[in-house]
Amino acid sequence: MYENYKRILFTRRGRVLTVTMNRPEVLNAIDAPLHEELSRVFYDVAVDAQADVIVLTGAGRAFSAGGDIRWMQEMIDDRAMWERTRVEAKKIVFGMLDCEKPIIARLNGAAMGLGATMALFCDVIFANEAAKIADPHVSVGLVAGDGGAIIWPQLIGHARAKEYLMTGDALTGAEAARIGLVNHAVPEAELDARVDAFADRLCAGAMQAIKFSKTAVNIGLRQLAHSIMDASIAYETYTNWTADHQEAVTAFREKRKPKFTGR
């Protein structure tokens, strides 16, 4: 059922299905094809009769570095592409929230922007203690509209969330675990064993009770997401065509610091 995926790999270990973003040469940066696949993958795994537990991760040394800079320029230049992306962004978040199966984040390396959002919307997060986690939308002149404004405050409170979302500052996995942003931070060498052990524990449990416990907890979060997501994406849409965002994209390509003007 996954034959039409090009940017995502699927591997099975018993009843555990691992979903791997597969652009390791660019730290699994998200481009248009990967974004489209992410917008439907959680609906597909939800009806995979051979899987009870999902592990989400990235190939190579990163979870996901966030949005691909070339894709950002394409969305500035092509409003139709942005419209598709806007719709897909909602499907990613709601796909994760609606999936009744437990989703475990194997946060093996950097998780930035949308990468961080997806990791944090997982049900249980195991992070490499040295991994960097951040939502640096503001660093490229964008509003953190793809879900960060929803999930960060739920995990670490509004004051801390606003600090990190307004600055784009990064935390290590160890720091993130200390403040409750992720569940567990472990040495890199122990990450796979810890994820596998937890996935196996869930698989050995009363799966109907487990998945509907997740679903019950997610009711409030789903309601919150429905109340915030449209507005946050609308704000991000506004900033997609600001001079500051174009300056950030240009500066990245020219390997210099952006000079923001507030426009």
pLDDT by residue (tens digit) across 22-57?
999 999 999 999 999 999 999 999 999 999 999 999
Q: Are 42 and 95 in contact (CB under 8 A)?
A: yes
The predicted pLDDT at position 117 comes to: 98
Q: Which domain holds residue 251?
A: 1-189+205-263
Question: How far apart, in Å, are the Cα atoms of 20 and each of 46, 54, 66, 162?
Answer: 16, 10, 15, 30
β-pairing, 171-172 vs 132-134, is antiparallel
What is the rounded CA–CA span in Å between residue 85 and residue 65?
Answer: 17
Q: Are 235 and 143 in contact (CB under 8 A)?
A: yes
Residue 164 lies in a domain: yes
Residues 6+ apart with CB under 8 A from 84: 32, 36
The per-residue pLDDT for range 128-178, each reduced to its tens digit, is: 999 999 999 999 999 999 999 999 999 999 999 999 999 999 999 999 999
b/e string for 59-77 if b means 16 or more Cβ within 10 A? Answer: bbebbbbbbbbebbbebbe
Residue 196 lies in a domain: no
Q: Is pLDDT at 1 greater than 90 in this prediction?
A: no
Residue 162 lies in a domain: yes
Residue 181 lies in a domain: yes
The per-residue pLDDT for range 186-239, each reduced to its tens digit, is: 999 999 999 999 999 999 999 999 999 999 999 999 999 999 999 999 999 999
| CATH code for the domain of 39 | 3.90.226.10
The per-residue pLDDT for range 66-118, each reduced to its tens digit, is: 999 999 999 999 989 989 999 999 999 999 999 999 999 999 999 999 999 99
Residue 200 lies in a domain: no
Domain count, the chain: 1
The predicted pLDDT at position 76 comes to: 93
Q: What is the DSSP letter of 188?
A: G
